[in-house]
Amino acid sequence: MRTAEIRRRFLDYFAERGHHRVASAPLPTPDPTLLFINAGMVPFKPYFTGEATPPWDRATSVQKCVRTLDIEEVGKTTRHGSFFQMNGNFSFGDYFKEDAIRFAWELSTNPQDQGGYGLDPDRIWATVHHSDDESREIWRRVSGLPDDRIVARGDEDNFWSMGVPGPCGPCSELYYDRGPAYGPAGGPEVDEDRYMEFWNLVFMQYERGAGPGKSGFPILGELPRRNIDTGMGLERMASLLQGVDNLYEIDETRPILDHAAKLTGVRYGADHENDVRLRVIADHVRTGLMLLADGTAPGNEGRGYVLRRILRRAVRATRLLGYQDPALPELLPVARDCMSPSYPELAEEFERISQQAYGEEDAFRKTLKQGTTVLDTAVEKTKADGGSTLAGAQAFLLHDTYGFPIDLTLEMAAEQGVEVDRDGFAALMAEQRERARADARNRKAGAADTAALRTVLDANGPTDWVAYEALETESTVLALLGPAGPLPVATAGDIVTVVLDRTPFYAESGGQDSDAGRLTGTSAEAEVLDVQRALPGLVVHQVRVTAGELAPGDTVRAAVDAEWRTGARQAHSGTHVLHAALRQILGPAALQAGSYNRPGYLRLDFPWRGALSPTVRSEVEEAANRALRQDLPVGVRWMPLAEAKELGALALFGETYGEKVRVVEIGGAWSRELCGGTHVQHASQVGTIALTGEASVGAGMRRVEAAVGVEGFAYLARERDLVAQLAEQLQAPREQLTERVGVLLERLKTADRTINELRRKESMGRATELAAAARDIAGTLAVTTTIDGDGGSARELALAIRDRLPERTPGVAVVGAGAGPKGVVVVAVNKAAKEAGRSAADVVKGLLGGRGGGSADVAQGGGIPAADLATTLDGLPGLLG
């Protein structure tokens, strides 16, 4: 049975039993404690914790999940995979143990021609918590399992909680006996390879208190509403029903593995090390495909770094197997064909997905070429110095400068028999992160603790947010908070977090910056600096008190700066217009992958390989402004998510949507997106969109920037004035400016070449004279001089001087170049000097305090002020004497 069919049967079974079908949430999650969804229950977490009221009593889903904590183990065992799918059925205060157990047993054992999976009941084992006699009795009654196949286990295996105070409860798991070929008999406690777990039922019935780990915490009592959270591993069930050993061999991964084996000429099953690499390729290519599909882009931090690491591990595994050509163009289409029966959007979005993936591989191939040379040199030096551990600073340099992930450095160093100082690397990374956090704290001073905000939310309920309807409200200050917690009062100059009962301020989201404005009370004035949704339902304001005193309980007038909001509407609507124009000119692959807009400015990121030509940029700008001139109507509608998708509304990556969504249309279907931002009423109100920049922001990702509204007109006016000034200075008509500037630039290049050639000849003419005037320092003929040139000129002169020194006498030439603010020093020594133990690299490092490097023949260094060159070269006698 194919995996897509297993998936369909699961959803159909539970839908027929009153469960609401919930689509898989995107892998990137807004949960601040996670990078990606790592369990099927994560999207339902607010319902289990009581943070939100579930819209249904029963639900079912097949949730995409990614776990990367054990990424180094992928392929080494048949259990570890980074991407997997979790089939789940959930009850929110509705049915409990009896029905949950019955559902799992029926679907698992019902014959396949009756919609079930047809597992042999005589090969199924169940586990229960040792205290859960109720579940044991239900299993006996529902399934007829004998007592010896219902195994009692402890807290570590069969009790669930989130690891923090909140809901918890016993678990019951189902295992399938795969037979003696997989291990010894005796049940899951004896061997979990032979007895494969395929379903876990969590019975949330208690509330736990604080405590460590999976045990040792107090049970505070029964939950007022008992819940069910179950998870059936889709890949595990596919392994069982397809009669294969592991998740790498099911129909959604084996074709990728087989194609990798064909490309590399390696036979799967012949060699363990090669098998590991083939499994890494199969797993990581599929995982990369799914992350890209859900809007994650390769990057250097967070989710982007995880994706980059996964793609690069897959590429490197193919290279280690002997395949040196680009691998992802061969493998990614295979993964698409494997997964698209369950996720049709993969085929629809493949052009965008593949562009990003192939761009990342291209960048990595360049990184490998450059970084490998640096790493090999560092390893060689480490060994030459008698060491066996690569310095953490060197690993950090590879990561920070050359984009070499630390795991790649570890792998490649280990292959050459060298360890890496991971503690030193971690310390440098921690310093870098702390600097970044400090910068963020400086930008967001006064941020309040989440626990304190949770207390405010629990006590007062959600914020009455009226940003769509009003620019001004009369509001009550519910709380003042600083970094250390609640404050009784804030005075002039204080920056604090303010919670209001209702607010007209737009909270930063969906790429739109937060509103600016003021809070005005009878005894205080405050400037609103930032507005955020700190928790679901809670809007918080960062303010600077400018006069008087502000205290909880005060009544204030909360007023948005109307000019700011007008500009924000223009910029956000302009973003939608520019997005539609990009897709009109470039095609549907140019799908927005990130944006930011504020009054007068917008930027938009989209996947694309290569820079946009000036002609294409002009076409995009023209298409956008044509829409503004046509005064396309802007409409906003609320509707069910399924209906919005049926209409073709674009759901943008990185955003999380509920069952009811807000659809913003500009010109009807011309631009139709799910969006929570503020917008103009007619396209002409945007004013104008003037593209101001276009650049790369990562492999396969471009960014366009634009000035909007009044700022757009001002930008165009500045451009016009600049053109007028150039035309006047060059005494040329505007239409001939490009040609005239081109002629001038060519003249300047010719003049520069002539000047450099004259300088070179002058320097070469001096070489004989300088060599003849060499000083004898401790038996070595030495020449020092400075020139008004660059490093290349200095190197050429140093070599010329050296070659003019007597061959049989040790000689050294030192030339300093000071054409720029920083000086360059080049040292060249002859053969006799080398034989006498002189080294150019040692000399340049001695002169420059350890900086610089090169060979024994020629070396170069810099970093000192050009004005200090002469003094620096005066130190040569001390080095040679």
pLDDT band at 589; cut points 50, 70, 90: confident
Span 3-246: which CATH code?
3.30.930.10
Rounded distance, CA 280 to CA 320, Å?
12
Angle of helix 709-730 relative to helix 737-772, nearest 10 degrees? 70
**Residues of the chain above pLDDT 70, percent:** 95
**pLDDT score of 199 more than 60:** yes
**pLDDT score of 689 more than 60:** yes
What count of residues does the chain have? Answer: 881
List, in sequence order, every beta strand (DSSP E) within 47-109: 58-66, 83-92
For the chain, the C-alpha Rg in angstroms (whole number) is: 34
pLDDT band at 439; cut points 50, 70, 90: very low
Question: Can you name the CATH fold of 565-722?
Answer: Threonyl-tRNA Synthetase; Chain A, domain 2 (3.30.980)
**pLDDT score of 836 more than 70:** yes
**pLDDT tens column, 844-868:** 888 888 777 788 899 988 878 888 8
576 known ligand binder: yes
pTM score of the predicted model: 0.63
Report the pLDDT averaged over residues 825-832.
93
675 known ligand binder: yes
Rounded distance, CA 415 to CA 412, Å?
5
Q: What is the helix (H) or strand (E) element at residue 555, kind and residue range?
A: strand 555-560
Q: Does residue 864 or residue 655 have the better pLDDT?
A: 864
Closest CA to 539 of 508, 496, 561, 512: 508
pLDDT band at 446; cut points 50, 70, 90: very low
CB 369 within 8 A of CB 404: no
CA dihedral sign, ordered 456, 459, 462, 467: negative
Rounded distance, CA 496 to CA 489, Å?
10
**Residues of the chain above pLDDT 90, percent:** 50
CB 855 within 8 A of CB 841: yes
CB 552 within 8 A of CB 477: yes
In the structure encoding, which two tokens stand for residue 452, read together? 């304190």
> How high is the pLDDT of residue 444?
43
* Domains of the chain by residue range: 3-246, 254-440, 450-560, 565-722, 753-880
Report the pLDDT averaged over residues 47-71.
86
pLDDT band at 220; cut points 50, 70, 90: confident
CB 546 within 8 A of CB 517: no
Neighbour-count burial for 292-320, b at 16+ CB within 10 Å, e otherwise: bbbbbbbbeeebbebbbbbbbbbbbbbbe
CA dihedral sign, ordered 310, 313, 315, 318: negative
Output the CA angle 684-685-689, nearest 5 degrees: 70
CB 56 within 8 A of CB 20: yes
Question: Can you name the CATH fold of 450-560?
Answer: Elongation Factor Tu (Ef-tu); domain 3 (2.40.30)
**pLDDT tens column, 733-774:** 888 888 888 888 899 988 888 887 787 777 777 888 899 999
**pLDDT tens column, 256-313:** 999 999 999 999 988 888 999 999 999 999 999 999 998 888 887 788 888 988 998 8
Residue 509 DSSP symbol:
B
* Helix residue ranges per DSSP H, 444-481: 450-460
User: Integer distance in angstroms from the first to the last C-alpha of the chain?
Assistant: 83
> How high is the pLDDT of residue 577?
95
**pLDDT score of 233 more than 50:** yes
Span 753-880: which CATH code?
3.10.310.40
